[in-house]
Amino acid sequence: MSTDGSREPVGVIGTGYVGLVTAAGFAALGSEVYCVDIDEDKIRGLEEGRIPIWEPGLEELIAVHRERLHFSTDLAPALAHARVLFVAVGTPPTYSGDADLSAVHAVVDAMPASDRHALVMKSTVPVGTGESIERALAQQDKGFAYVSCPEFLKEGSAVQDFLEPDRVVIGEDGGWAGDAVEALYAPLGAPIVRTDVKSAEMVKLASNAFLATKISFINEIANVCEETGADVVEVARGMGLDDRIGPKFLQAGIGFGGSCFPKDVAALKQLAGNSGYHFQLLNSVIEVNELQKRRVIAKLQKHLGSLVGKEIALLGLAFKANTDDMREASSLVLSARLQGAGARVRAYDPVAEAEARKLISGVAFASSAAEAVAGADAIVLVTEWPEFRELDLAEVAAAMRGSLLVDGRNFLDPGAARAAGLVYEAIGRPSQSPSPVSAG
C-alpha cells in the first residue's frame, strides 16, 4: 500500500455512509481525497472531526488520515485536484419502488464540461442509469468518462469490507477511467471484475436480491420447522456446510431490514416490471419478509393471550447489530403492531435510540436492558447486540412480571434461558409451550 502521496487523488461526492467510508478508505491507501456534500452542517461537522454516522472504526480511520481528507460544499476543489470523482449520493425508493435518482441527476447537471474527468457511480442505481447518464453527458458536451463501481459495504463492518473486499466490480464502456479506478483499488489485492456498465449495475442489484432471497428462504424453512419440530439452527448448519450453499445469510430471524436489501429488492422487481418482466420470486421474498416481522406478535399472543395492557420490552431496535441505522428496521413494524394490539412498549438499544426516536412514537425508551425488562410481561430480542448475551438471565427473569422471552434472532442459548426460569421462544426452533402431541 502506497502512503507516499503519489497515488491518484480522488473526489467523493456525497458524504453519507458509503461516501465517507470510501473517502476514508482511499485516504488510508494514500490518496488525497476531496469530499463534497451539499449539507453545510455536515461538512462543518466533518471539518471539526464530527462523524455523522456510527460505524465501527470509521472515526479512527478518518482521524488517522485526516490530513489527506478535504471537505467542502463546493465542487471546485475536487474538480481541480482529482480526475476520478466517486458519486455516493442517496437513491432512496419512491412510492412505486423505483429508485429516486434526483440526487444523481443533480450531480451530473452540476458538472462542468471536461474531458479530463470521470464520474464513478457508487450509488446503487437501476440497470440502464449509466447509459442514460452517458447520453446526458454527451448531449451536454461535457466529455466526462463514466464508470459503474458498485459498493458492497455492510453496515457495521464497512471499513473492513472496503479494505478487504470479496471483489471490486468495474463497469465501463472503454476509455481511460476503468484503468484509473482499477489502479486505485489494486493495493487491496481483491479480484477485479472488469465488465460493461449495465452488467456492473446488475451485479449489485442481483447480489443483494440473492442474499435477501437466501434470508427469506431460511425464514420460510424456519416457519416449516416450527410446524414440524425441526430446529432451523441445526438445519442451517447442515445446509451451510455444502460448499454450493455456504453458511452465510442463513440465519433465520424477524426479517431483513436496512438501507439496501428492501430498497434493492423493490428496485430490481420494479426494473424488471418496467421492462415487461414479472419477477415472481422477488414478490415472495418481499412478502415473506413482511410476514416474518409480524409473526412475533402471534408468538406473544400464544403465551399471553390478548396483548391489551401487556408490558412488552424490546431489546434492540437497529436493523442489525453494530449500527445505529433504523432504516426499514423490523422494530418499526413490530413496535407499531404491538401498540396496535394494545400493548405498552418499552425499548432499549445501546446506540440506535437517537435514530429510533425520530421514527418511532409511543415507545418508552429505557437507558439499559435491565431497566427495559423490569416489570415486563414479555421480552422480544430484536437486535443481536453482543451485550444481550452477557445478560444474567436469572436476574432478568426475577425482574420481570411475566416470564416470556421471544428471541427474534436465535441469539441466546435456549437451555440457559429455560434454566433461568424463562419461557423461551425462538424462530424456527422447538417451542417450549406444552406439547399437545403425545408420543404414542
Q: Which residues of the shown chain bind ligand UDX in the complex (CB under 6 A)?
A: 151-155, 208, 211, 215, 249-251, 253, 256-261, 319-320
Which DSSP symbol is given to 93? Answer: B
Residues 6+ apart with CB under 8 A from 270: 96, 97, 98, 126
CA 78/CA 82 separation, integer angstroms: 6
- Is the CB of 265 or the CB of 391 nearer to ligand UDX? 265
- Is the CB of 82 or the CB of 412 nearer to ligand UDX? 412
- Cβ 93 to ligand UDX, closest distance in Å? 14
- Cβ 365 to ligand UDX, closest distance in Å? 21
Contact between 34 and 68 (Cβ < 8 Å): no
- Is the CB of 351 or the CB of 397 nearer to ligand UDX? 351
Name residue, grid cell 414478490.
283
The DSSP code sequence of 48-68 is TT--SS--TTHHHHHHHTGGG
- Cβ 169 to ligand UDX, closest distance in Å? 11
User: Catalytic residue at 260?
Assistant: yes
Contact between 414 and 394 (Cβ < 8 Å): no
**Strands of 33-36's sheet in order across:** 69-72, 33-36, 10-13, 84-87, 118-121, 145-148, 168-172, 192-195
Give CA separation, 81 vs 118, 239, 264, in Å: 13, 51, 33
- Cβ 306 to ligand UDX, closest distance in Å? 29
Give CA separation, 174 vs 112, 145, 146, 171, 365, in Å: 21, 9, 9, 9, 54
Contact between 283 and 269 (Cβ < 8 Å): yes
- Is the CB of 82 or the CB of 282 nearer to ligand UDX? 282
- Cβ 287 to ligand UDX, closest distance in Å? 16
- Is the CB of 58 or the CB of 78 nearer to ligand UDX? 58
Residue, CB closest to ligand UDX: 260
Q: Which three cell numbers stand for residue 130?
A: 449509466
- Cβ 4 to ligand UDX, closest distance in Å? 31
- Is the CB of 16 or the CB of 258 nearer to ligand UDX? 258
- Is the CB of 119 or the CB of 203 nearer to ligand UDX? 203
Torsion, CA 322, CA 10, CA 123, CA 112, rounded to 10:
150
CA 409/CA 389 separation, integer angstroms: 12
CA 85/CA 76 separation, integer angstroms: 12
- Cβ 245 to ligand UDX, closest distance in Å? 12
Active-site residue identified among 35, 149, 225, 260: 260
- Is the CB of 117 or the CB of 214 nearer to ligand UDX? 214
The DSSP code sequence of 298-335 is HHHHHHHS--TT-EEEEE--SSSTT----TT-HHHHHH
Contact between 294 and 337 (Cβ < 8 Å): yes
In sign, the C-alpha dihedral spanning 280, 285, 286, 292 is positive
- Cβ 110 to ligand UDX, closest distance in Å? 25
Work out the end-to-end distance of the chain between its first and last CA atoms, rounded to an integer number of angstroms: 68
- CB-count burial class (<10 Å; 0-12, 13-18, 19+) for 192: middle
CA 192/CA 35 separation, integer angstroms: 25
Query: Catalytic site residues?
Result: 260
